[in-house]
Structure 1
């Protein structure tokens, strides 16, 4: 687990540029995943994204002197890649076929609930604080308001919200397991590890895509310009620049400051979805959004104590 270990205070301008990058770039990925998969098979396009980004990160790490990883490190990083990227991000790509990007971002932002619960019952056996437990209950209440079927008229069938939310719940569980498992495994240097994770996640996603989607290796050649532009954006800004900014913050910013991205990203996603995808939230969804954000804030405060 990467923690803030810098012995000197980082440059304030660099700090806020990195934080703004994570706020905006990661908040925008929901909209661009929607654009990328709007007329293309979602798992196939997600696999292309991670294969390209992983290849770039891996060779960058090697060219800048990072040592070749051991077999154990490759296996460990690959396993984390399957949990975080194949399952979690693959589920997100599928979820966005059923629910609006802003709602997807809000449900995804409940990840602290999954981390808290799994660490309590399995990994750490640590009982959360009362404040964090209050946040847990608030977050679950907010999810109920978000996924009520009558909030999604015009988005798809009456069950679309439940299907989309179900995918994200599976993805959040997998992301939480991968996050809690990472400190317990032997992983290579950070950029090398991320490159291997993306390559492993992308390869497994591609294999799954071949099994369940009508695709071949050259399907990318028929992708519309909008999908290709979104793919390029996600590779460069979502996977490489956004990840690099987050990694720098993990080493140089306080956990309290870094954790704020969890409740800023959904706001960015909702604004972009309303502006560029014609999405809107019902009054019930807006209530749910506020409850979810409040729950995540309480969990964050309780965890930091």
Structure 2
């Protein structure tokens, strides 16, 4: 799912606008919990690959049936590169990382994507110095990360080393997501749903290859998945990949970038509440303090963008 920052071209209907916003807020915030449910008894990379192969095939087939032209070889290659970065690496790291840390903490770390985008755009892609407000947000965000993941305050079922592995995986995944996001406007991509479909198909195939190498699975292991994992995967295919992404794409075309970026503030809150209510996840008072400080940093970065 690539970040698009096209300006609004008209004033959208408020009910449609808020309907799509709530969809992104709730559905994307809930995906962390359902990824946890999907992978708690099944190999994570394998389940991620099946999810994206199904969702990508549906999106690609729908786009072609509704008249979208067949992509060129260059468009396939460009969308495939983005798919590997965003889905194979970033979401693959997230799914594996959720085996080690609570889903709410993973969502908060994912919500810090603006920190990665600002830093990479400053030192590499755009060579643009951020505003002073954005730099202040970067500093506050880093302090929040420290408070959130400080080893002696981490709570959960695993040890300190396990949780540091989880945090490291998600941090690396965020790095890959930021690179994919910054590359997106620099590559030749097909328009609309067919681009998302290609990203999911290529990302799903690459993830499946990794799964077959690293995990004890076969291409048919989905037949052995428990009902909870299957149900969670269906939820993620429909509500996370298809409906959630469609809402995000509509907002990218019709809402301001500032309004669109608010999902980074809301998703972690939704994920932490759901994780506490339905997965028995426990957070220390320092973790909650770190979450609040980190989100303040994200808000400052967003407000300080030039």
Secondary structure at the counterpart of residue 281 of structure 1: coil
* Aligned twin of 1:21: 23
Alpha carbons 1:27, 1:265 under 8 Å: kept: yes
Deviations 1:247-287 (A, max 9, x none): 00001011111110001000000000011001121011011
* CA distance, structure 2, for counterparts of residue 287 and residue 142 of structure 1: 8
- Displacement of 1:4: 4.1
- Name the structure 2 match of 1:9: 11
Question: Deviation of residue 150 (structure 1)?
Answer: 2.7
Which residue of structure 2 aligns with residue 212 of structure 1? 214
Distance 1:55 1:184 in 2: 25
Provide the aligned length of Structure 1 versus Structure 2: 304
Match of 2:178 in 1: 176
Is 1:97 paired with 2:99? yes
Task: Give secondary structure in 2 for the equivalent of 1:189.
Answer: coil
RMSD between superposed Cα atoms in Å:
1.0
Q: CA deviation at 1:162?
A: 1.0
1:5 Cα deviation after fit: 4.4
Measured at CA, do residues 6 and 294 of structure 1 come closer, stay the same or move farther in structure 2, by a change above 3 Å? Answer: closer
Equivalent position to 1:256, from 255, 258, 273? 258
Residues 200-239 of structure 1 mapped to structure 2, 5 A cutoff: 200-239=202-241
Residue in 2 that maps onto 1:63: 65
Matches within 5 A, 1:268-283: 268-283=270-285
TM superposition score normalised by structure 2: 0.97
- For the Cα contact (< 8 Å) 2:38–2:229, is it kept in 1? yes
1:33-90 deviation per Cα after TM superposition (whole angstroms, max 9, x unaligned)? 0000000000000000000000000000000000000000000000000000000000
2:287 to 273, 285, 288: 285
Q: State how far apart, in whole Å, the 1-side matches of 2:186 and 2:216 are.
A: 38
CA–CA distance in 1 between the matches of 2:175 and 2:127? 17
SS in structure 2 opposite 1:217?
Answer: coil
For 1:4 and 1:189, how far apart are their aligned partners in 2?
Answer: 13
Shift of 1:2: 3.6
Gaps of 5+ in 2: none
| SS of residue in 1 equivalent to 2:295 | helix
Post-superposition offset of 1:152: 3.1
Please give the residue correspondences for 1:28-43 in structure 2 after superposition, counting only pairs within 5 Å. Answer: 28-43=30-45
Runs of 4+ in structure 1 deviating by more than 6 angstroms, as ranges, are none
Q: For 1:224 and 1:145, how far apart are their aligned partners in 2? A: 37
